Each structure stands twice: as C-alpha cells, then as structure tokens.
A and B are shown apart, each in its own frame.
Chain A
C-alpha cells in the first residue's frame, strides 16, 4: 500500500469544514437554502428536456449577467463524470438527487465554497450559503442578499397567499431551510438524543443524521433544521433554529463534562483511545467504522484529552475519506474493498503527520512509523 498519498491540504476543505467557526467544537457548519422557481415554467420534475435546457440556459445567463457572475463558476452537470458529481455531493455543494438526475441541470459555486446554486434540481433554483460553525444569523443575511440579487434578474413564481411557490408543498412560503450540522457524541453516549429530538420536534424543527439513514446517525453527526417553511416570517425561523441549537450545544457540553467525571471518565477515555488506536493501526476501514471511530477521537480532541491532533486534521479525514474523494486521490474508480484499504492508508498518514507536527512543536524527535500512545 502506498504510504505517500498526495492528500489535499487543509486549504481544500471548503467552508463547511473550516475548523474555526463559532462553537466549532460542536457545530461544524451552518447552511441556509432558498427554494425558488422561475415564473412561466412548469416545475422541474415535469419539464421536457428542451424546456429544461431552456430553463438552465435562462437561469445561468441571468446569473452571469448579474453581479454574481464574476464570483460564481457555473458548471453544466451533464458534462461532468459521475465521480466529479459525487465529489460535489460529498462537499455538500449539490444534493445527491441533483447529481444523479438525468434531466439537464447545472450548478454554480464560488471558490471558497460559501455559496452554491443548484439549477433545475427539484425546484428551478436552490441557492445555498454555508458558514463554518454556528452562524445562523450571519449565514441568513448572506443568503438573503444572494436571494435579492437573483430575484432582481429572475422573475419568480410567487403568490401573496402561499409565498414562493415550490414543487413540493413542504417547501412553499419562505422556501427557506436553515440547517446546523452538529457533532453530538455526548448526547448520544448519555442517551439524551431522543429527548432532544422530541423537544426540537415540538418547536417544528427536525433532527436528522448527517450521514447514514435510519435511527442512528453515523459518526454522531446530526443536522438540525426548520421543518416548516410557511406561516412564519424568516426572522422567526432564524430565531427558532438559533434558540434550539444554542440549547442543544449547552446540553451537549453538560453531557460531555458528565462523561469525563468520576467513574464515567475511565470508560470514556477507554472509548476514545480504543477509537484512536483503531484509526492509527487499521489497514481496512469501512466508511461506517471510520466515522464512528472519528467521532470518539473528535470528542477526545475537543475535550483536550488527545494531544497533537486538531479539528482541522479530523475534518480533512472526514472529507477525504468519503468514497468519491478517495477515488479522486487515487486517480481512478475503486471497488469498495479497495476503498476501505485506501481509507485506512489515508487516515494513518494524516494521523502520523499530526503526531510528527506535535512532536516537532514540543521539540521532540518524531518517529513517523511509531504508533501514538494514548496518554490520558
């Protein structure tokens, strides 16, 4: 196995994994999305190919002619290879449905990956703004500004009664979806997550896994978002999500502290260092095993009990260990078994580099081949 993979550096993480946002120990990223449709066209799922091409052409022309044209790069998704589209999905710039659809479609993004537009997704235009950490208000302000610029050039389907009209009535009204991606291992380990999700539901907020389907989210990553888009002004939705996330962050911090107190501490430390040991030594890592062990190590790094590693290192692993990024690094398509081996190589290499960096900063000799010891 190659131990010298050319791994993209921290500068390539994109906005959503930049490890310096407010409350970044728990909140990875805030995302704000508006769903909009162009007046005079049927909604995307019913468009004929010619109409869809016409729509994409119209929207992209308007974007180019607007003052966003200089900031955004437009990409015709039909011209990309499937692997290139999967990379955009893994970077959260487009949805999986948008990547896999067969209709003519496009996207636009800025270089910092703070803005992306999905053109002819389920709705004609879905604009997204990302901000690292917990920044709902700021991300919303940027998204509203983006929306205003788009509205100035694109006539939208709007009704004073129902608001911005969308293909699915679950998005109608404001068309606004505010999401905060949270890492909640404390609540999962303390078995508080169900209570938290129920509380959120009463506030018309949804708590979903960021990775994986079903009841348990892989890697203890969750996405909290507003469930309703109609009948409340945008400012209230922003306030609801902000308040709920603040509450969840405080709850998570309490649970984390409790997990490191008295008799719980040894068990927690054992869990963290077993996970670190697996990541440092495994030669085969599935996505699920990688994410779940990363969660425990991330907890350890955030609580200051694992030296040398930073959230930046862990975010690099989080992004690059995904199937499409792994294949891009390798330069070709890989079967699942080969990906698991390559993932283990990548993780070992990033952890070794982090340990060497830590040793260097302490003025010690680093031994790249030696395993890191878990010292509490």
Chain B
C-alpha cells in the first residue's frame, strides 16, 4: 500500500494517501509526493475541511497559530504533531462537540459561544428575535451595547489585515475583538 511521503502512514479515510503533490520547476514536474489528508492539512497543501461556516476571527486564529508555529518552532517536519484533525467542531476549552450542543441545547463553557458562534447566533435569532445584548453590564446599571455593525467592521478590518500580512495590526484587532466578544477567544492551548 502506498505510504505518505511525510508521515509514512496512510491517515486518510481510504487508508492510503489521497493527495498527489507535484514539485514543478520551469513548467516541468520534477518530483511527485503522495501525502495523506491529515498531513496535507498540516503542511498547508490542503485546506482543513470546514465543519461550520468560518468566521474571520477563526480564520485568523488558524493563520496566526500557523505563523507563530513557523516562527517559534522552526522544528523539523517529523517533530510536528501528527494527530488527525477532528472531523467535528468541538470546543477547545471544554471539548463539547457541535453534535452534543445540538442534541442537548446546552453549551459547555463560555468559550462555546464563540466556537459555535454561527449556530448560537441562528438559535438566538429564533429564540430571542435578537442576537446582541442590550442590558446591563457587570457592575454597571445600564450601558448601551456596541452596535453589531461595529463588530462586523472590526472583523472585516481583521480579515483585511491578515490578507495584507499586517500581523501586528491584526493582533491588535484580534485582541479588541476578543475583549468585546468574550475575552477567551484564541487563547493558547
């Protein structure tokens, strides 16, 4: 059975590498690689399978994590984690899966609100006919919540900063977004 060029295993569903990567030089193929799906995702050859609609902050987290790993670790490929990516979205803080949330209707921890954000927002719209808090803040009697448009703008600016590889600006925007939306988003695991 064909093994993955990088991890030496076959980690895709069929038990064998399913990604065919080619080194091309001057328009000619100089080398062919057989890569399993899990490794292809880790190497950035294959985009991770989206299990829910990605939001800008999640995309940013993935990109930033990759960038930080690249800068900090500079580790050889063999040292990279080889665990397969879970096929279902789950909360990194409490391990609650999307399926369990849908089944029980209960979230596992404060961070779940961000992890399952698209599903939570859809549910809030149905249940409350609203998606944003308009009430009091801890320690303060009543303060107007930020307009949701501000958050959308913030996310757009974040996406633009990532696209332009302005990581310092992106980091600042991310911190601001995290502060507004819960403060736990994107913590290092």
Contact = CB atoms under 8 A, between A and B. Distances in A.
Given A42-B94, A159-B181, A232 B130 contact: yes
B142 A235 contact: yes
Contacts of A156: 138
Interface string B120-152: 100110011111111111110110011010010
Contacts of B15: none
B110 interface: yes
A161 B145 contact: yes
Given A151-B139, A169-B127, A161 B132 contact: yes
Given A160-B137, A172-B124, A231 B130 contact: yes
A42 B93 contact: yes
B148 to A, nearest CB: 8
Interface residues of B, number: 38
Contact of B133 (A148, A162, A167): A162
Secondary structure at the A interface, as helix, strand, loop or mixed, is loop
Contact of B132 (A46, A176, A231): A231
B128 A173 contact: yes
A164 B146 CA distance: 15
A228 interface: yes
B124 A169 contact: yes
A46 B96 contact: yes
Contacts of A165: 107, 110, 113, 182
B22 interface: no
A234 B142 CA distance: 8
Contact of A228 (B113, B129, B148): B129
A95 to B, nearest CB: 15
A304 B110 CA distance: 53
A170 interface: yes
Given A160-B145, A161-B180, A169-B127, A232 B110 contact: no
Nearest to A165: B110
B134 A161 contact: no
Interface string B156-187: 00000000000000000000000111110000
A45 B106 contact: yes
Contacts of B145: 160-161, 163
A13 B104 CA distance: 37
B21 interface: no
Contacts of B110: 37, 39, 43, 157, 159, 165
Contact of B142 (A148, A159, A169, A233): A233
A152 B127 CA distance: 30
Nearest to B91: A42
Contact of B135 (A168, A169, A174): A174
B133 A230 contact: yes
Contact of B139 (A152, A163, A233): A152
B135 A163 contact: yes
B54 interface: no
Contacts of A231: 128-134
Contact of B108 (A39, A42, A234): A42
A204 B126 CA distance: 12
A98 to B, nearest CB: 15
A173 B182 contact: no
A163 B143 CA distance: 11
B8 interface: no
Nearest to A236: B134
A283 interface: no
A168 to B, nearest CB: 5
Given A46-B109, A160-B133, A228-B129, A169 B123 contact: yes
A161 B106 contact: no
Contact of A232 (B109, B134, B179): B134
B131 to A, nearest CB: 7
A156 B108 CA distance: 15
B48 interface: no
A228 B137 CA distance: 18
- In the complex, the 7 A-B pairs of residues with the closest C-beta atoms, listed nearest first: A231-B130, A163-B133, A159-B182, A157-B110, A230-B128, A174-B135, A42-B109
Given A163-B145, A169-B127, 4 more contacts: A39-B110, A43-B108, A122-B106, A159-B180
Interface of B: 93-94, 96, 104-110, 113, 120, 123-124, 127-139, 141-142, 145-146, 148, 151, 179-183
